[in-house]
Structures are given as C-alpha cells and as structure tokens.
Amino acid sequence: MKTLIKNGRVYDSKNGLEGKYDILIEGNKIFAVEKEIKDQGYQIIDAEGKIIIPALIDMHTHLREPGYEEKETVKTGCEAAAAGGFSAVAAMPNTKPIADNPAVVEHLKLKSEKAAVRVYPIGSITQDSKGEVLSEIGTLAKTGVKALSDDGNPVMNSEIMRRAMEYASAFDLPVIDHCEDENLSQDGVMHEGYHSTIFGLKGIPAAAEEIMVARDIVLAEMTGIHLHIAHLSTEGSLNLVKEAKARGVNVTFEVTPHHLLLTDQAVEDYNPDTKVHPPLRSERDKNVLVEALKAGQIDVLATDHAPHTYEDKLGEFDYAAFGISGLETALGLLYYNFIKTGIIDWNDLLRMYYYKPGEILKIESEGLKQGSRADFLIFNPEREWTVDKNKFKSKGKNTPFAGWNLKGKNEITFVGGKMVYDDRGGKNEILY
C-alpha cells in the first residue's frame, strides 16, 4: 500500500525542494516527490497548510538505559524523540554500567530494535567514564558506535585525551567532548557571574569550559582527528572554535536550544529545572550564540536531552541533578523563536539538525528524494500550544519551558515509511 502526502510545503534545498510538492511513499522508502502526483487509490494524507521536512537527527540524547530506567528508557526516550519530530538519536554512554564495552552497546541495540526511532550508540572514551583508562575503542568501533564521548564527565587528563584521539582516528570515529575543567567548576551549580552572586549560589566560570575547549583544539590539531564540542555555551568557546576552524582544525560544535533561549537569570526562582551542564550562561553569551546562529556559524543543534525523575530534581537547588528534558520542546522552540522571526530558515535548521549530524555520525541522511528512506515530519505552523510536561512521552518532566506558549508544532513523524507519531487534533499518539 502506497501512501500519498498531498499539498504540503516541502523544504529540503539540498534536494532542490522548496515549495508545494506531493510525496509518495512505498514501504520504507520515498517512491516519488513531484509537483503533483495523481491519486491512484493510495492512502492519502492531506498536508495543506503544513510544512514537510526530513525528520531531525539529535546527536546528543541521554536514554538512560540500562541502569536509570526510572529516569528514561529506550522506549520512552524514543517516543519522546518521535513526538519531537526526530527520526534518530545518538545515545550518550553515561548509563549504568557505562557503555564502555560491547555488552552494553549490544543491549542498547537490542532494545532499540522495537523503538519508535532509530538509535545510534556512542561509546565511552574511558572505562566507566572515569577519565583514567581508555575503553576498548577498537571493540566498541566493531560493535557499531558512531562516536566516542565521556559526556557527563570531562576527560581531565590530557595524555588520556591525546591517546583517545589517536585510537579514535584509527577507527575514523569523532570524539565528542563535554568540556569542563573540574578544578574550576568544582561544586558550582550555576554560571558564575552577577546572578550567582545575587542568588547566593556557587558559580561555574565560563573559563571552566573554555580552557578545555582550548586544550581539545590543541590536541585535535596535533592528532588530526575530528573533535566535536558538546553543548558549547560561551562566547569564549565560540571564539576559540572559530579561530581553530580558520586554521583548518577539524572541529565542529553543537549548541542546545536552552543555551540559545535562556540565561542565568532564569535561575532566579531556584527552579531546579534550570540547573544544567553547562549552566545557562550570561545574557551576552546567549546573544553571541544567537548572532552565530543567524550568521550560519553553528554546526549542529542538539537537545542534550537529559531526563531526570521528580525526586532527582526535588529539594534544594544545590542538590538537584543537572539536566533538561529537551526532545519534545526543541523544534517548537526553535521554530517559534528563530524561524518564525526570520533569524534562520527551514533549510538552516535542516543543515544544523539533520545534514550535519548525519555527516558527523556517518549515518544515512539523504533527505527527501526518490529512493531515500522515508523519514520526515509534518509541521503545523498555525498550531498554538502550551508546553505541558504532563503530556511529555519522556519520563523526564524536567523542563524550564513549562507553560511557554508557542505557535507551530510537529504533528506527524514518519520513520522508515511508518507513521510513528500522530498529533492531529491533539491526539498526541505514538503508533507502533
């Protein structure tokens, strides 16, 4: 049975598409994309007034399984991804146990088989992500990890990082680093600056991130590997990466929606859902990141979806867990704040949230063309909605965006030719 999506406005400039097109899908593939396809008894989805783009790829997601199933499971995390308009996520290895060996990676692959979206495993750089002994990088590569990262933790020892990069290059894997000098961040809980002083909270200076970004760039230059900086959040880090790129260093970076939209001022009510690594930064940092977004200088957008339980976030700000549950708000926030306002367009979004992550992870990301996998989303730009964490598919209700009123929402996600999410008329349904 073929399905015909009619009358949608399609954006995918890489495949020469911008305007009204009909899309015919058969099995898991796109059979045709044409100005008009005649109905020959197909199953029809009317996308009049809707926008169709390739479904997004989130290269920084925490699925928490195995070990922290109370926070999230592969099933719930992938449902959240489907609802958010993603067809694929890359899963960070900071589970329990850490994905530093083939058994944990195989477990994830098995769990992912029945999930709503595709899952690409990331292996840890060091055993138990302790930063002391390298993981078995060759074995991890054979198991199919798409990158290496100790995310959640920095690799403090520069010698270990150097060796990790050398091994990674032998297997053509990018190294994704969570840049944080722990001697500087210590037990800080928010960005160090005016607001941390006023709120009486221990700060994490911008330098804690920037020093590690600088070190990693030096090591990437020395080893020639592809370095990817996770959740870049400061002006200083951005400048370091820009300079390195200009010198020809193979470095890319990602920015999260929350660092583009919130500042350290958001911590003023001591809401633990504003507590995240790296911390929400200064107004200036945020503005500089938005300028970079506008100038086309950001490589990748990524959620850093970090779900936690209510209990993990309960109590005093100082003791709450770090992290924001981001998969179900990312696209709505980015559309309403940056696309609708003309700061970026749909093709910019695709470059940062589909093509570049696909290229970095070396995974299929061919967009909307005949013969490619039918992974796309149907977005309703007129739909008004309010972020309601109780409607999240994710177990992680920890969002600082609760109650935000947005216009424009993902309504349908197709993964491999199958509709996995349907929110027409507010159904908010996952379909298997």
Ligand X SMILES: NC(=O)N[C@@H](CC(=O)O)C(=O)O
Please give the annotated binding residues for substrate, written as ranges: 62-64, 94, 308, 322-323
**Quick one: which of 66, 41, 94, 159 has its CA closest to 306?**
94
Distances (CA, A) of 412 to 19, 54, 378, 421: 19, 12, 5, 5
Structure tokens at 80: 């959240």
| 149 touches, from ligand X, Zn ion, none (C-beta below 5 to 8 Å by class) | none
SS (H, E, C) 18-38: EEEEEEEEECCEEEEEECCCC
According to DSSP, the β-strands at 175-177 and 86-91 are unpaired
According to DSSP, the β-strands at 86-91 and 118-121 are parallel
Minimum gap (Å) between residue 284 Cβ and Zn ion: 22
Minimum gap (Å) between residue 277 Cβ and ligand X: 3
Phi, psi of 263 (to 5 degrees): -125, 180
| 323 touches, from ligand X, Zn ion, none (C-beta below 5 to 8 Å by class) | ligand X
C-beta of 203 vs 307, nearer to Zn ion: 307
Binding of Zn ion by 71 (CB under 5 A): no
Phi, psi of 185 (to 5 degrees): -80, -35
Minimum gap (Å) between residue 150 Cβ and ligand X: 9
* Contact status, residue 371 vs residue 19, Cβ threshold 8 Å: no
Distance CA 96, CA 104 (A): 9
Counting every residue written for the chain, the total comes to 432
Distances (CA, A) of 385 to 84, 156, 409, 423: 14, 43, 8, 12
Binding of Zn ion by 177 (CB under 5 A): no
Distance CA 377, CA 421 (A): 9
Minimum gap (Å) between residue 304 Cβ and ligand X: 5
Binding of ligand X by 94 (CB under 6 A): yes
Helix 283-294 and helix 235-247, axial crossing angle in degrees, nearest 10: 40
Binding of ligand X by 323 (CB under 6 A): yes
Residue whose CB is nearest to Zn ion in the complex, by number = 178
Binding of Zn ion by 178 (CB under 5 A): yes
C-beta of 168 vs 306, nearer to ligand X: 306
User: Which of 100, 264, 285, 304 is the catalytic position?
Assistant: 304
Minimum gap (Å) between residue 333 Cβ and Zn ion: 18
- Region 89-108 residues binding Zn ion, contact defined as CB under 5 A: none
Binding of ligand X by 99 (CB under 6 A): no
Minimum gap (Å) between residue 27 Cβ and Zn ion: 35
218 Cβ contact list (under 8 Å, min separation 6): none
C-beta of 25 vs 260, nearer to ligand X: 260
Binding of ligand X by 306 (CB under 6 A): yes
In the residue annotation, 269 being an active-site residue is answered as: no
Structure tokens at 416: 């491999």
C-beta of 23 vs 108, nearer to ligand X: 108
Largest CA distance in the chain: 67
| Given 6, 9, 62, 226, the residue binding ligand X (CB under 6 A) | 62
| Given 12, 151, 177, 285, the residue binding ligand X (CB under 6 A) | 151
Each residue 206-245 as x (binds ligand X by CB under 6 A) or -, in order, gives ----------------------------------------
Minimum gap (Å) between residue 94 Cβ and Zn ion: 7
| Given 304, 328, 411, 422, the residue binding ligand X (CB under 6 A) | 304
Other Cβ atoms closer than 10 A to 87: 27
> Is residue 405 packed enough to be buried (19+ CB in 10 Å), middle (13-18) or exposed (0-12)?
exposed
Each residue 135-174 as x (binds Zn ion by CB under 5 A) or -, in order, gives ----------------x-----------------------
C-beta of 62 vs 373, nearer to ligand X: 62
User: Rounded to a whole number, what is the distance in angstroms from the first to the last CA of the chain?
Assistant: 17
CA–centroid distance for 102 within its chain: 24
Binding of ligand X by 117 (CB under 6 A): no
Q: Applying CB under 5 A, which residues contact Zn ion?
A: 151, 178, 304
Q: Applying CB under 6 A, which residues contact ligand X?
A: 62, 94, 151-152, 178, 276-277, 304, 306, 322-323
Active site residues: 304
